[in-house]
Amino acid sequence: MAQDRFATLNREPTHVVLAVVVQIRGGRLQTLLWQRAREPDAGRWSLPGGVLGAAESLEASIRRHLAAKVDVAELSHLEQLQTLSEPDRHPDERQIATAYLGLVPSDADPSLPADTAWHAIDALPPLAFDHQGIVQAARDRLRAKLSYTNIGFAIAPAQFTLAELRDLYAAALGRAVTATNLQRILVRRHLLEPLAEHRAPTSAGGRPARLFRFVHRSLEITDEFAVLRPRS
């Protein structure tokens, strides 16, 4: 038995791509997971992805798998997160995995197959293989980048009020953020621009809230010194 496993692990490794697709839903940072129907780890939840095609780049492969399996054809941001190559990370074969972080704006609602669902990152079910650590690495990457880049554009809708953006940042960072401080930081860095439009007041009343948008909707480093640094 041990010899069979040794022979399996010494075959040419399979290269797979995985994605931690993140969206803020219901005020919580959530990720897409699909439930495995077969062994190994049948019944456990895992990250979407699949085998790297022979004629594909890594990014093209993960975009194909996401579009085919979970209807996430358009991501607001996608970046390579890490490569995992521990010999025993998969029990049946030598498998190398390249993981990506993908972000979906809060106003999108991708259609999902029956075996796929959103799960709050702070309350994950038991995950297959080493996927729990990959999700935590993605969460930490997002939180860090919120402090020194304009990556907030990727979790926000095209237009928003400062209060709405505050709530998105707070959900992503896992801590309270004030709208005043957020405006001071992002406007000072020239990341936001006000629009002429206002959000109509709710039934509770109040003044119409001005709408804003991000100046650029592609990733830029805005401050090497992390002002919105997440707590350890």
pLDDT tens digit string along 77-89?
Answer: 999 999 999 888 8
What sign does the CA torsion over 71, 220, 193, 200 have?
A: positive
**pTM of the full structure:** 0.88
The dihedral over CA atoms of 135, 116, 58, 218, expressed in degrees to the nearest 10, equals -70
Strands (E), the chain: 14-25, 28-35, 45-46, 49-51, 77-84, 95-103, 116-120, 192-199, 209-214
Q: Residue 37's pLDDT is what?
A: 87
Q: Residue 6's pLDDT is what?
A: 47
Rounded distance between C-alpha atoms, residue 181 and residue 186, angstroms: 9
Q: β-strands 14-25, 95-103: how paired?
A: parallel
Rounded distance between C-alpha atoms, residue 116 and residue 189, angstroms: 38
Domain regions of the chain by residue span:
2-145, 148-214
Q: Residue 93's pLDDT is what?
A: 84
Q: Are 100 and 62 in contact (CB under 8 A)?
A: yes
Rounded distance between C-alpha atoms, residue 129 and residue 95, angstroms: 11
% of the chain surpassing 70 pLDDT: 88
Give the pair of three-digit tokens for residue 2: 């041990």
pLDDT tens digit string along 108-121?
Answer: 998 888 999 999 99
Rounded distance between C-alpha atoms, residue 139 and residue 120, angstroms: 11
Rounded distance between C-alpha atoms, residue 79 and residue 138, angstroms: 10
Q: Residue 224's pLDDT is what?
A: 67
Q: Residue 2's pLDDT is what?
A: 46
pLDDT tens digit string along 130-175?
Answer: 999 999 999 999 999 999 999 999 999 999 999 999 999 999 999 9
Q: ∠ at Cα 21 (62, 210), nearest 5°?
A: 125
Give the pair of three-digit tokens for residue 134: 């990959």
- What would the CATH number be for the domain defined by 2-145? 3.90.79.10
pLDDT tens digit string along 164-204?
Answer: 999 999 999 999 999 898 988 898 889 999 999 888 776 66
Q: Residue 10's pLDDT is what?
A: 57
The CATH architecture of the domain made up of 148-214 is Orthogonal Bundle (1.10)
At residue 213, φ and ψ (nearest 5 deg) are -150, 160
